[in-house]
A and B are shown apart, each in its own frame.
Chain A
Amino acid sequence: MRPRSRPHLPQGLLLVLVASVLAELFLLRTATRTLIHIPGIGDLEAPIRVVAEAGRFAYYLAVVSVTVTLAILGFRHVRSAVPRRVIAGVATLAFLLIATVGRFEGVPSRTAGWLTLAVLVAVTSTAWRGLGSIPVGLFVLGSVAAGWSSLGQVAGSGLTGAQVDMLVLAAESLLVLAGATAPLLLGRPPTGSALVAGTGAAVLVAAAFAGGASTFSIMVLWNLGVPGWLPGIAFALAFGGIVTAVWSALASGDRVTAIGIVLLLGGGVGLISTYQTGLALAAILLLAEPGTMGQEQTVEVGGTADYALAGSPLS
C-alpha cells in the first residue's frame, strides 16, 4: 500500500499553503472571534490586534499560495495529453480566469458563480476514482446544492422559500456525509490509532454540542457555510470521520491526502469566495492523485504519465 503520490510542485509550496490555510482558519476566522470570551480580554487589545493581523497576513498568503498551486496543477494537467487530465487542467485554468475577471467585475457575479460550480463538477468527474472519491463527490454535490440555493434565487424565475430550505438542508446533509465517509479517501482501512482518535474526537464534539459549547459549534458551522439545522451528533460523526482520515493519512506518510482534507475543510461547502472555492478545487486535484488501494499508477501508451507518473519528489 503506497501513500498518495506527491504532485509536481515547487518544494514547500503545499506546506506553505496548508500552514497558511490553518493559520487563517484558526487565527482570523476563529481566534479573533472567540478571544472575547476570555475574562479581562479588554485589557489585551494589543495582543488581539497582533493575532488578527497575523491571521490576515495568513489569509493573503493562502490566497497567493492556492492561486500558484492551481496554476501549476492546471498547466501540468493540460500538458499531460491524457484526455481527462487535460479537461481537469482546462477547467482549473478556466476557474482562475473566471476568478480574476470576476474580481475586476468583468463578468457578472451570478455567471461567475454558475461557472464555478460547473468547474467543480467537471474536475470532480474527471478525477473520479470509484469508492475512494465518494467523499469528494458528496462534498461537491453539497457545494452544488448550496450554490444553487444562492444563485437560483436571482436567476430566471427564482426559487420558492420551501425549495431554498430543501437545497440548504441537502447541502448540509451532504457535507456531513462527506465528513463521515472521509476515511474512504485513504483507499485502505484506517489505522487502529486513527479509529481511536476519530472516535474520541466524535465523542468530544458530541459532548460539546450536548453541553451547549456553542462557540465551538457556530464557528464550525459558519466557517463551513451551512446553518447547522441537523442535530449536533451528525456533525460529531462527520468530525470523527475527518479526524480518523487525517490521522491515518499522516501515520502512513500520506501527507497529500491529509493536506487535501484540510483544504476541503478550509474551502467549506457552497460558494463563499473564490479563495475558498480555490481551496476546494486544489483539494479535489490533490486527492485525485494515484497511489491508493486499487488506484495503481499507470503509464499511458506512448509513454505519457497518467496522474503524476507519480512518486517523483516535490521539485
Chain B
Amino acid sequence: MRSRASRLAPILVLVLFAALLRVTAANPAMAQTQSIGAWRVDSQPVMDGFAPEWQSILPVFLPTTAQQVTPPMGGGTVERIGVRAVHWEDQLYVMLEWSDPTPDLVSDRYEAFTDAAAIQFPAEAGSEVPFICMGQADQAVNIWQWRGDQQLDAPTPPDTGYVDMYPYSDDLYYTARQAGNPLSQVDRSPVQNLVAGGFGTLEVTEVGSLQGHGEYEDGRWTVVFTRPFQPTGDLQPLFDGGTPVDVAFAVWDGARQERDGLKSVSAFSQLTITPEDPPRRGVPASQDWPGYAPPNPLLAIGVGFVVVALIGSALGWAFLSRGKRSSDAPEE
C-alpha cells in the first residue's frame, strides 16, 4: 500500500508546475477567439470607410450584446459590428461598420445623444485579457472613442432671428473649456484617447497621433481610426508584427438613447498585424447588412417549447419509473 505522501506527490508536482508558470507568466494555452487580420496595403488608406478600397476588403463580423455589468446598463440595439484593419508604413488603420437607421450627430438637448464608436485595447500586450468593462485595477485599458457630435462642425446660426451674444472671448469665461472639458474645446478632435483601470477610472489622455473619421450612408456608419504602431504616451499598446493584440469594440446609437454604459459591446478578439495582402470580397456586400432584425421570436418560442417538452418528458419519466418501482416491489 502506497503511502499518503507518494499518492499526493503527482498532485504536488502539478501545483508546483502551475506556480512556476504563474511566476513566469508563461501561459501554456493558446487563444482561439475571433482573429482579425490587419493586412498590408500599398498605399495610404483613406479615412472614408465607404471608399471601394475599404469596402472591397472582407470584413469580420462580431456579434454584440448589451452592456450589463455596471450602471447605466443596457443598449444592445446594434446587433453586430463589421471590422476591417490594414496597416501602411507602420501605421494601423481600423475601420468599423454597423447598421443604424438614423445618423445622430447633435447632442444639444438633455435627451439628445450622439452616435459613437470605440475600440478598446489592453494598455500593455500581455498573456491575460483585462476585464472588458474598463479593465481592472492591475490591467489598464486604452480606449479610442469617436463621437459624431465631436466631428460635426460648429452649428451655423440661422439667417433670421436673434442670436445671443457673448462678449468675452477669453477662455476664463468659458468655464468648461477652462476646466479642460474635452467636449468644450475649440480644436477638439472627433476621437478621444482614454485610459482606464476599472469602473469609474476612465480619464482622457493626450490624443497624440490618434485620428478618426466617421461617414454615414444608406443606413450604415463607417468609422476609420488610425494611429502609428509606436504609442505616444503611457498605457497605450505598442503594435508590432509578432504579438497579437486583444481588442474589443463598442458602438452607441444615439436615437435609441444610448450613451455612457448604454451601448452594444463585443467580446475580446485578437488583432494580428500581418504582412499578407487583404482578402477581397467573394460574397455580395448587399448581404452583409440586411437591416436591423432582432432574433426571430418564433425561433425563441420554438426553443422554449422544445425545452419545456423535454423537461416535461423527464418529469413524466421520473414519476412513471418511480411508480413502476413501487408496483414491482414485493409486498410485505
> A interface vs B, CB < 8 Å?
10-13, 16, 32-34, 36-37, 45, 48-49, 52, 56-57, 60-61, 63-65, 67-68, 99, 102-103, 109-110, 112-113, 116, 149-150, 153-154, 156-165, 168-169, 173, 176-177, 180-181, 183-184, 188-190, 192, 195, 212, 214-215, 217-218, 221-222, 225, 227-231, 233-234, 237-238, 240-241, 244, 271-275, 277-278, 315
How far apart are A273's CB and chain B's nearest CB, in angstroms? 5
B304 touches which one: A68, A102, A234 (CB < 8 A)?
A234
User: Are A180 and B310 closer than 8 Å at their CB atoms?
Assistant: yes
Given contacts A11-B7, A60-B27, 19 further A-B contacts (CB under 8 A): A13-B11, A45-B137, A61-B18, A65-B18, A109-B35, A153-B60, A160-B283, A160-B288, A164-B61, A176-B303, A183-B314, A184-B314, A218-B66, A227-B64, A227-B65, A237-B308, A241-B307, A273-B29, A275-B29
How far apart are B40's CB and chain A's nearest CB, in angstroms? 15
Q: Which residues of A contact B283 (CB under 8 A)?
A: 157-160
How far apart are A96's CB and chain B's nearest CB, in angstroms? 11
User: Are A237 and B65 closer than 8 Å at their CB atoms?
Assistant: no
Tell me, in angstroms, the Cα distance from A84 to B290 when the chains sit together: 45
How far apart are A140's CB and chain B's nearest CB, in angstroms? 15
Tell me, in angstroms, the Cα distance from A169 to B80 when the chains sit together: 12
Looking at the complex, which of B44-52, B68-76, B86-94, B181-189 is the stretch in contact with chain A?
B68-76
List residues 280-318 of chain B with CB under 8 A from any CB of chain A. 281-284, 287-290, 293-296, 299-300, 303-304, 306-308, 310-311, 314-315, 317-318
Q: Which residues of B contact A153 (CB under 8 A)?
A: 34, 58-61
With A33-B136, A49-B138, A176-B303 already in contact, the answer to whether A56 and B29 are too (CB < 8 A) is no
A-B pairs with beta carbons under 8 Å apart, 27 shown: A12-B11, A16-B15, A45-B137, A57-B18, A60-B21, A64-B28, A150-B34, A150-B35, A153-B34, A156-B282, A158-B283, A161-B82, A162-B290, A163-B287, A176-B307, A180-B310, A183-B314, A189-B322, A214-B73, A229-B63, A230-B295, A230-B300, A237-B308, A238-B307, A273-B31, A274-B30, A315-B7
B15 touches which one: A61, A116, A161 (CB < 8 A)?
A61
Tell me, in angstroms, the Cα distance from A234 to B301 when the chains sit together: 9
User: Are A162 and B287 closer than 8 Å at their CB atoms?
Assistant: yes
Tell me, in angstroms, the Cα distance from A57 to B20 when the chains sit together: 10
Q: Which residues of A contact B138 (CB under 8 A)?
A: 49, 52
Say if the beta carbon of B132 comes within 8 Å of chain A.
yes
User: Are A150 and B33 closer than 8 Å at their CB atoms?
Assistant: yes
User: Are A272 and B32 closer than 8 Å at their CB atoms?
Assistant: yes
Say if the beta carbon of B128 comes within 8 Å of chain A.
yes
User: Are B19 and A57 closer than 8 Å at their CB atoms?
Assistant: yes
A17's closest neighbor in chain B, by CB?
B14
Say if the beta carbon of B174 comes within 8 Å of chain A.
no
What 1/0 mask marks residues of chain B from 128 to 162 whose CB sits below 8 Å from any chain A CB? Answer: 10011100111000000000000000000000000
Tell me, in angstroms, the Cα distance from A310 to B91 when the chains sit together: 60
Report, nearest first, the 3 A-B pairs whose CB atoms are least far apart: A157-B282, A214-B68, A275-B29
How far apart are A44's CB and chain B's nearest CB, in angstroms? 10
Tell me, in angstroms, the Cα distance from A230 to B21 when the chains sit together: 39
User: Are B137 and A159 closer than 8 Å at their CB atoms?
Assistant: no
Tell me, in angstroms, the Cα distance from A56 to B18 when the chains sit together: 10
Tell me, in angstroms, the Cα distance from A158 to B2 when the chains sit together: 57
User: Are B11 and A215 closer than 8 Å at their CB atoms?
Assistant: no
User: Are B65 and A161 closer than 8 Å at their CB atoms?
Assistant: no
A222's closest neighbor in chain B, by CB?
B267
Q: Which residues of B contact A231 (CB under 8 A)?
A: 300, 304
User: Are A56 and B22 closer than 8 Å at their CB atoms?
Assistant: yes
Tell me, in angstroms, the Cα distance from A17 to B48 when the chains sit together: 51
With A52-B138, A271-B32 already in contact, the answer to whether A173 and B303 are too (CB < 8 A) is yes
Tell me, in angstroms, the Cα distance from A283 to B59 when the chains sit together: 34
User: Are A237 and B307 closer than 8 Å at their CB atoms?
Assistant: yes
How far apart are A156's CB and chain B's nearest CB, in angstroms? 7
Tell me, in angstroms, the Cα distance from A158 to B280 when the chains sit together: 10
How far apart are B301's CB and chain A's nearest CB, in angstroms? 9
With A36-B199, A217-B68, A218-B68 already in contact, the answer to whether A116 and B136 are too (CB < 8 A) is no
User: Are A33 and B131 closer than 8 Å at their CB atoms?
Assistant: yes
User: Are A65 and B14 closer than 8 Å at their CB atoms?
Assistant: yes
Say if the beta carbon of B8 comes within 8 Å of chain A.
yes
Q: Which residues of A contact B281 (CB under 8 A)?
A: 158
A195 touches which one: B2, B294, B318 (CB < 8 A)?
B318
Tell me, in angstroms, the Cα distance from A13 to B310 when the chains sit together: 34
Tell me, in angstroms, the Cα distance from A45 to B80 when the chains sit together: 35
Tell me, in angstroms, the Cα distance from A299 to B82 when the chains sit together: 54
A116's closest neighbor in chain B, by CB?
B32
With A164-B80, A169-B295, A274-B29 already in contact, the answer to whether A60 and B63 are too (CB < 8 A) is no
User: Are A180 and B29 closer than 8 Å at their CB atoms?
Assistant: no
Tell me, in angstroms, the Cα distance from A180 to B303 when the chains sit together: 10
